[in-house]
Amino acid sequence: MKKLLIIGYGNPDREDDGVAWHILHALTKKLGLSAPASYEDDFPQHPQIDFSFYLQLTPEMAEEIAAYDHVCFVDAHTGNIPEEVRLVDVESDFQRSPFTHHLTPQSLVSICESLYKNKPEAVLLSVRGYQFLFSRQLSEETMRLVPQAVGLIWNWLSVKIS
């Protein structure tokens, strides 16, 4: 059985944009692992789950995710999604963006499928961000969503590793 990958992305120096790091941090603690002190530190090893955190998704990550059967992407959203916390399936779908630095999980899975002939089962956990100023602290509104987000990933993991 291949491991699962939980890949968070966002900018922890921009307040709620860094919520993915806080979720990965809380999840490692829930798993009984020693959580990293900073987003620049490596996550601990787990026999069935790998953790990665990046400032943004890039096409080169297709090679990384090709090695997994299951991938969970974790990111912030700005209110364009009705739910404050949502876990949805990610389909392979290349999406053009007017921004050269913006790559969606759907596009990354599509690149993975095209180049490596492997399409991991993927989901996206999206959490509402409220403030995006220059701070490493989450807003109170987004901080209160972290336990719910961890719970959704925990439930998803329990199905995948059982």
pLDDT at residue number 98: 47
Span 78-136, pLDDT tens digits: 888 889 999 999 987 665 554 445 789 999 999 999 999 989 999 999 999 999 999 99
Query: Tokens in use for 128?
Result: 């509402």
User: Nearest-5° angle of CA 104, CA 107, CA 113?
Assistant: 145
User: Domain coordinates of the chain in residue numbers?
Assistant: 4-160
Residue 2 confidence class, pLDDT cut points 50, 70, 90: low
CATH 3.40.50.150 is held by the domain 4-160: no
- 8 A C-beta contact, residue 155 and residue 148: no
Which H or E run includes 123? strand 121-128
Q: 11-51 pLDDT, tens per residue? A: 999 999 999 999 999 999 999 999 899 888 999 989 999 99
For residue 84, what are its two tokens? Answer: 């404050």
- DSSP code of 32? T
pLDDT of residue 67: 93
**pTM tops 0.85, yes or no:** yes
What crossing angle do the helices spanning 19-30 and 146-160 adopt, rounded to 10°?
60
Better-predicted residue by pLDDT, 8 or 95 = 8
